[in-house]
Amino acid sequence: MPATAPILVTGAAGFIGAAVCERLLQRGESVIGVDNLNSYYDPALKQARLDRLSALPSAAGRFCFQRLSLEDGEAVASLFGSLRPARVVHLAAQAGVRHSLANPALYIQSNLVGFGHILEGCRHGQVEHLVYASSSSVYGGNRQLPYREQQPVNHPVSLYAATKKANELMAHTYSHLYGLPATGLRFFTVYGPWGRPDMAPMLFARAILAGEAIRIFHQGQMQRDFTYIDDISEGVIRCLDKPACADPNFDPYHPDPATAACPHRLFNIGNSDPTPLLTFIAVLETALGRQAVRELLPLQPGDVVATAADTSALRAWVGFAPSTPIELGVERFARWYRDYQRA
């Protein structure tokens, strides 16, 4: 049911953030959207997402956007103090595994310092529940598939992954010290309409339609648990509606990394149907009606060969787990991409 106090969504102009805002608005929530509209990728796409949100009939009088950098601690504190959000969905981050190899300072400032300011805002603002984005990348060098939340995540292979693991530790600490209910969600390769242009589906679609070669790393011998955006946003909101609580069965002598003696939980959100990269490309070729020109390349530093999500814990907690078939999701993405390029 809609809450009377507003919900703060950081990264509101981003791929996942805009989708979450849309669902919250459609069910009658008041939403405060925050984003810094940085130029990591085309700000015009971010602005187009915001324009689309503002044009929703359900947004009238209930969607407030503020351009703000989370690295600015005073601005974040002022936002919490003046608007008093009841719940927070933290999706803002410096994204991109490969980008972190060349620009580590951006990730430290945005993903660590910025997240620290969000935690402080939640603490002092007595926020009822914080849901924050983690990533499947935290599993790093682990090759035991499918990934389960109970597995250790001690071997990150990129700084991006390390910042996401750090976010989980920081949130757990605030839950332990200050009683902040917090839920971390490990997203698995999100795709769909209004997606990020630095990710494979958009890169591949642009190149295929332009008749240019698509760059396929590790000679295509990779698989990803591609997860459709509508499933991701549904999972986020269901978790938001069920605040984390302490696990009464938590055993400090045999600690479970997915739960805690404080109100902190971790969940995978993935499709539980890992797809070989070459299969994904073939499905995209069919949806676009074009064949790709393929350039096979070695594995890139920071990449992992395969991901696969065990979502049994998520299903048990909120009665939902992603399930959109790759063929349906890619067809919807391809239709949107053609329309967007013509706009």
Tell me which residue of 267, 266, 286, 284 sits closest to 275, measured CA to CA: 284
DSSP-assigned letter for residue 321: -
Structure tokens at 326: 């790759």
Catalytic entry in 132, 139, 160, 191:
160
What are the angstrom distances between the C-alpha of 72 and each of 109, 145, 192, 279? 10, 39, 31, 43
160 catalytic, yes or no? yes
230 burial type by CB count under 10 A (0-12 exposed, 13-18 middle, 19+ buried): middle
Whole-angstrom CA distances from 142 to 43, 147, 188, 222, 307 are: 35, 8, 15, 15, 10
**How far is residue 210 from each of residues 207, 338, 341, measured CA to CA in Å?**
5, 12, 12
Please report which residue ranges of 9-42 form alpha helices under DSSP H: 15-26
Q: For residue 120, count other CB atoms closer than 10 A to its CB.
A: 16
* Phi and psi at residue 31, to the nearest 5°: -125, 130
Residue with tokens 């997203």: 187
- Beta-strand relationship, 182-187 and 213-217: unpaired
Q: Tell whether the torsion through CA atoms of 24, 263, 118 and 4 is positive or negative.
A: positive
DSSP 292: P
Catalytic residues: 160
